[in-house]
Structure 1
Amino acid sequence: MDKLLKVNNLNVRFNIFNATVQAVRGVSFELDKGETLAIVGESGSGKSVTSKALMGLIPNPPGEIASGEILFENKDLVKYDEKQLQKIRGKEISMIFQDPMTALNPTMKIGKQIMEGLIKHQNLSKSDAKQRAIELLKLVGIPKPEKRVEEYPHQFSGGMRQRVVIAIALACNPKLLIADEPTTALDVTIQAQILDLMRDLQKKTGTAIILITHDLGVVANLAQRVAVMYGGKIVETGTVDEIFYNAKHPYTWGLLASMPKLHMKADKLTAIPGSPPDLADPPKGCPFAPRCPYAMKVCTDHMPEYAELSGTQKAACWLLDERAPKVAPPVTIGARGEE
């Protein structure tokens, strides 16, 4: 398939007080047209910073893209200035932000917020833009769109606001949609509806999706491929089945083990002990080594290279070196979150 996006050795840092936080460290991945890639990991692993870098939304100061390439249709967005990025945002690349209430302007009618991008990027008249806004509200499943287009965000429920945010993101038929924790603030019933909506819209529009989440259940329902981030780095990538069935990195094992299962008692939930590394003083070896029950001396002294496990799966772990002791994963979980 054609590559829509190639990220090569991306490094993002924040200069805060007397420290430099290396939030994203050497991240590389690719995305095909029409594909869904999930980027998963704990809070602070660099997922959202990576997504904002793709949109050119790293605040400078204090942040900056220190090095690397973001090749969108073979155009390096790192080299774009703000005026050039404004032509890309909303039109070519759109983003669904985590909290729909803060993503929407409370003083503007919903219709006008959808119309803004249509008028700017597609040069529609106000009347045509309003008609398109009504069509988009209908597309994302909002009843009586002709009436609701004249209402304000506070008149919508949380799930309906998230549908509006999705309508805004899809207004200009973007080639890439970045969804940053799109269901975190919603209850499980609305979560399922939003995921079904995103899946259906992708089939209709062919939009590629980067899904930022810590919820592996969401990943199993929506993504084709997964990138596992920890300590500002991607530690493992693979198809959904490879990650759920045959993960190779101990951090991925920890994430899978922490997934609640239907038969599990409330006091049996597994957690990964310890805390993520301080990225103002990142470790020189594997970032997961201090929390890894299988860590060896080489893990703390040297960063592991990626081991190519298949045409689609690779992981950065010293346990994959032929000289390392053989360690079996502590848990096996089915490809769709079932044991």
Structure 2
Amino acid sequence: MENIENKERLLLDVKDLYVSFDTYAGEVQAVRGVTFHVNRGETLAIVGESGCGKSVTAQTVMQLIPMPPGRIKGGNIFFEGKDLSKYSDKQMEKVRGKDISMIFQDPMTSLNPTMKIGKQIMEGLMKHQKLPKDEAKKRAIEMLKLVGLPNPGKRADQYPHEFSGGMRQRAMIAIALACNPKLLIADEPTTALDVTIQAQIMELMKDLQVKLDTAIILITHDLGVVAKVADRIAVMYAGVIIESGTSEEIFHHPQHPYTWGLLKSVPRLDMETKGRLVPIYGTPPDLFAPPKGCPFAPRCDYAMKVCKTYGPVRTNLTESHYTHCWLQHEWAPKVDDKFAKGGAV
């Protein structure tokens, strides 16, 4: 069970979630017992390399994975105390866009190319807030202005192909925030953008979060983005969360070898480094047949015999920081690693 400090601020509580996909080749166990929570107004970052289950987890929260082939094998998704995993499609239509919104990775494939941007913003306002067409159009223009688009009145009457990449991403944010959702899921929102536009988009999201008191789940593999905006971080690998804690705990006191590897593979300006960056060698396990023990064991420099045989138990390091790693066991050898010692990261 996760330690939740203030239950009154609790917004989303995902407990022991299992999600699989049934294919002709067999069952893909994409998410395997994921547990996390999000409080009102905070930012939780879910980080990990491609294929670890980040996006599947987020899309399952919104019931966006196709069923079949996808299916929820177990677990609960409590949003304001109500279990979304038991909701029908019709019930979820009242939640999506109104209480929970999502910014997708590629706005060009998410926006409707045949509809003007203003009309795409108006859709949610007219459906969820029952605004008349004139008021919805006015609100759409206000949202485009809020996300920093110049000439919002003109932009509302343009199509997605007339926007640049950064402008399309801003339009996606406007659509997602139009109904003042309580939770915003941002799935790799800046991957396709250059670094200057990335910084602008993340700054915009933080500003809007303060104004609207919206909680954010940020899905990314960019630790530089995470360091600036996240309150808490969940590190995901092979369908499981292997370490979770506050940003300070994860960046300054990481305790899992995979987290060490992620941090070592990122260039840093505040530390003197010699030679090249250290990659994480090997590939993630096949989720058609996940390993019995720790999923990271085949790639881990510190793997022991027990790691390959038994899944690691959870170790609570602080009230907010925990990890799943056999190195935390009292019988495990002490690891001489600068990150394990609490070196600056």
Runs of 4+ in 1 over 6 A off after TM superposition: 263-267, 332-335
Contact 1:94-1:170 within 8 A present in 2 as well: yes
Aligned alpha-carbon RMSD (Å):
1.7
Aligned length: 337
Q: 2:329 aligns with which of 321, 336, 339?
A: 321
Structure 1 segment 177-216 matched on structure 2, within 5 A: 177-216=184-223
What code does the residue aligned with 2:320 have?
T
Contact 2:41-2:213 within 8 A present in 1 as well: yes
Following the alignment from structure 1 to structure 2, what is the Cα–Cα distance between the partners of residues 131 and 332? 54
Residue 115 (structure 2) pairs with residue 108 (structure 1): yes
Contact 1:253-1:330 within 8 A present in 2 as well: no
**Cα offset for 1:328?**
3.0
2:3 matched residue in structure 1: none
Structure 1 segment 21-32 matched on structure 2, within 5 A: 21-32=28-39
Following the alignment from structure 2 to structure 1, what is the Cα–Cα distance between the partners of residues 202 and 85? 31
What code does the residue aligned with 1:247 have?
P
Contact 2:32-2:239 within 8 A present in 1 as well: yes
SS of corresponding position for 1:280:
coil
1:237 matched residue in structure 2: 244
SS of corresponding position for 1:299:
helix
1:304 matched residue in structure 2: 312
Q: 1:284 aligns with which of 288, 292, 295?
A: 292
Structure 1 segment 92-107 matched on structure 2, within 5 A: 92-107=99-114
Following the alignment from structure 1 to structure 2, what is the Cα–Cα distance between the partners of residues 59 and 333? 44
Following the alignment from structure 1 to structure 2, what is the Cα–Cα distance between the partners of residues 177 and 116? 18
Following the alignment from structure 1 to structure 2, what is the Cα–Cα distance between the partners of residues 323 and 112? 62
Residue 88 (structure 2) pairs with residue 81 (structure 1): yes
Contact 1:23-1:46 within 8 A present in 2 as well: yes
**Cα offset for 1:330?**
4.3
Q: Please report the TM-score for the alignment, with normalisation by the length of structure 2.
A: 0.95
Could you give the per-residue CA deviations for residues 98-121 of structure 1, whole angstroms, max 9, x where no partner exists? 001111111110000000000000
Percent of aligned positions that are identical? 65
2:173 matched residue in structure 1: 166
2:276 matched residue in structure 1: 268
Following the alignment from structure 1 to structure 2, what is the Cα–Cα distance between the partners of residues 81 and 287? 34
**Cα offset for 1:269?**
2.4
1:36 matched residue in structure 2: 43
1:15 matched residue in structure 2: 22
Listed as ranges, the gaps of 5+ residues in structure 2 are 1-5
Following the alignment from structure 1 to structure 2, what is the Cα–Cα distance between the partners of residues 36 and 132? 26
Following the alignment from structure 1 to structure 2, what is the Cα–Cα distance between the partners of residues 138 and 15? 44
Q: Please report the TM-score for the alignment, with normalisation by the length of structure 1.
A: 0.96
What code does the residue aligned with 1:311 have?
E
Contact 1:244-1:333 within 8 A present in 2 as well: no
